[in-house]
A and B are shown apart, each in its own frame.
Chain A
Amino acid sequence: MAKLRIPILAAALVARAFAQVDFSGEWSPLYHEDAPERLPGPELGDYTELPINAAARMRADSWDADRISVVEQYQCRPHGSDYSMRGLGNLRVWREIDQTTQKLIAFHTHMLAWDSERVIYMDGRPHPPDYAAHTWQGFSTGAWDGNMLTITTTHLKENYIRRNGVPRSEQAIVTEHWTRHGDYLTVTTVIEDPVFLTEPLVRSDNWFVDPGQHIGIFGCEYAAELPRPEGTVPHHLPGTNPFLKEFAGWYGLPYEATRGGAETLYPEYRSKLGEYKPPEKCERYCTCTTLFNCNLR
């Protein structure tokens, strides 16, 4: 009997340890959700599916894409960790295990875009005080909900929820739910931003296991490439942005439907718009074979 007890006990310990899912490995992104927004990039003036408030809308209307090139400090600015899941999201995950206790201290992630690295603490440590610095990746802690990993991120730097100028503030709290289904990983992201959102923004992204994946070096070096007066900040004065209605025109959408807001997220909003009349000829992404081989016109 004594001999039998030892292997049973050992098996139980091993079983408990692996009841928590391991996300370690190389993951390649699937872009079937929101593809045009994520890879070619969003259109100017496209605020659809975003529960933004009027302040966020005005901020996005004022945004001038020249800022990315003219202002050096923007040239190498990375995505926030909430947005990086939607971009060039080739992902590597590895675990940090305490050698003595064999307890999980943290998950680490590396993303292709801007070589972003992130730590998701699993050891119960508190979040920093409000006077601590914010980072692009923020400060993340994780907890298990069955086999699902729920991650809470605070201390993010101000960034965007869509890279056409729709802002996400440094006050946002981001909750992620990581679920592994065999060789697939689903991450559901919930952004709560008291500054720019009237209700939580929920999005999901997916990856598949890709053991042969090699993530190269992203690399970026900022440089003054355009002559400009010191302190130039490109932006559109209120009411002067000439590009805001292009998106609605290309897709045959009522302009007000492209302006975002919580109401526009729900199916009931369709009844307000009447019958959809597509444009007479295709204007955008008409000859795509893949997302990397996609002619705008």
Chain B
Amino acid sequence: MKPAQFVSALLLLGGAVCAQQPAGDVHVLRVQGGIYMVVGGGGNIAVQAGKDGILLVDTGLTELAPKVLAAVRTISDGPVRYILNTHVHADHTGGNEYFVKQGGALNGVPGEPRVIAHLAVQERMAGPPVGNDAPMPRSLWPNDTYSTPFKDFFFNNEPVFVYHAPAAHTDGDSIVLFRRSDVVSTGDIFTPGRYPFIDLQRGGSVQGLIAGLNKILELAVPARYQEGGTYIIPGHGRLCDEADVVEFRDMVTIIRDRVQDSIKKGMTLEQVKSARPSFDYDTQYSGSADAFVESIYKSLKR
């Protein structure tokens, strides 16, 4: 193990220690407890490191996996024991195979890491590809799935809870809570600064997305005056806490309400888009506002 001594602490922001890393554009940010956030490898990756080894929440893009591993090695040289996939998309699962292959070779520890995801993730990977997407190779599939509302286990001296968020960003989303460290990893249910992608073709829905965001708020407890306390690692973007999730949840809820009101008035999709129900958020959130509004409309019309 080589934890904090290899992470050069630059400054503190609400308990988060920033570190410059040698791995190109992939960076490590210490969050709190035993949790770190790796950014720049595709989707954000949560790393839990301790005496039992390493747990990764998501593995980033395939081509960036070696850089992600180099970043993880600045935290710990322990074996990767667990990989949790928050959903099916390649920017969160692309490194699965690479890290599984690393598993047995690390410190002579035998066996592959367990790759855990909701059953719907495996079904999506094993099923026919969506649109023009290439099929997901079997080497990226999870090797351990759950199909209950949540799953829990104990690793590195803390309880780890994995909650299924049905029909949210996709139909196989998981929210991960590290209970002792007090950190939540959300996957793409929460993407501060960018509009959420509701993947209707893979079972996502706006109501499920809002329910997922409310679940994150239920898990998060702020410290004094609504700051810090539980830290939130989003699917993309900066480290957050409850207040940031509230802003995002409010944005999705308000735009949902506006689109719902337009539907009640009998407006067509094109008329709703022309009315620009996300106008007051378009300067703040990146991504296609039209695509976001369309996904809400179609989701509500189902």
Contact = CB atoms under 8 A, between A and B. Distances in A.
Given A55-B282, A114-B225, A132 B242 contact: no
Interface in A111-149: 114-116, 125-126, 128-136, 139
B225 A73 contact: no
Interface in B259-285: 261, 275, 277, 279-284
Interface string B63-96: 0000000000000000000000000000000000
A77 interface: yes
A76 interface: yes
Nearest to A129: B18
A216 to B, nearest CB: 16
A2 B14 CA distance: 53
Nearest to A116: B225
A131 B275 CA distance: 33
Which of the listed residues A71, A131, A155, A158 has the most CB atoms from chain B within 10 Å of its own CB?
A131
A171 B213 CA distance: 22
Interface in A156-212: 157-158, 169-171, 194-196
A48 interface: no
A78 B283 contact: no
Contact of B227 (A135, A195, A230, A231): A135
Interface stretch (A10-18, A39-47, A232-240, A278-286): A232-240
Interface stretch (A22-30, A56-64, A96-104, A245-253): A56-64
A135 B14 contact: yes
A126 B20 CA distance: 12
Nearest to A220: B225
A69 interface: no
Interface in B272-302: 275, 277, 279-284
A133 B225 contact: no
B246 A71 contact: yes
A142 B50 CA distance: 38
B225 A136 contact: yes
B222 interface: yes
Contacts of B213: 231
Contacts of B226: 73, 76-78, 136, 222
A26 B18 CA distance: 34
A258 interface: no
A152 interface: no
B39 A62 contact: no
A259 to B, nearest CB: 14
Contacts of A231: 210-211, 213-214, 249, 253
Contacts of A76: 225-226
A22 B231 CA distance: 36
Q: What range describes how many residues of B lie at the interface?
A: 35 or more
B13 interface: yes
B interface SS class: mixed
A121 to B, nearest CB: 8
B18 A158 contact: no
Contacts of B10: 125-126, 128
Given A135-B14, A139-B13, A59 B280 contact: yes
A131 B238 contact: yes
Contact of A195 (B29, B217, B244, B283): B283
Contacts of B254: 62, 233, 235
Given A73-B217, A125-B11, A132-B238, A233 B249 contact: yes
B13 A73 contact: no
A288 interface: no
Given A131-B238, A139-B13, A233 B253 contact: yes
A134 B232 CA distance: 12
B29 A132 contact: yes
A131 B280 contact: no
B257 interface: yes
Given A125-B11, A231-B249, A134 B244 contact: yes
Interface string B212-256: 011001000010111110010000011111111011011001100
A282 to B, nearest CB: 34
A131 B17 CA distance: 11
Contacts of A77: 225-226, 243
Contacts of B257: 233, 235, 237
B27 interface: yes
A235 B261 CA distance: 13
Given A53-B283, A55-B281, A157-B243, A129 B227 contact: no
A55 B279 contact: yes
A223 interface: no
A273 interface: no
Contacts of A57: 280
Given A55-B283, A129-B18, 12 more contacts: A59-B281, A71-B246, A77-B243, A131-B27, A133-B13, A135-B13, A136-B225, A139-B13, A231-B211, A231-B249, A237-B257, A237-B258
- Closest CB pairs A-B (n = 4): A58-B280, A59-B280, A133-B239, A233-B253
Interface of B: 10-11, 13-14, 16, 18, 27, 29, 37, 39, 193, 210-211, 213-214, 217, 222, 224-228, 231, 237-244, 246-247, 249-250, 253-254, 257-258, 261, 275, 277, 279-284
14 contacts: A55-B284, A59-B281, A76-B225, A114-B225, A129-B27, A131-B29, A132-B238, A133-B241, A135-B14, A136-B226, A171-B284, A231-B213, A233-B250, A235-B254
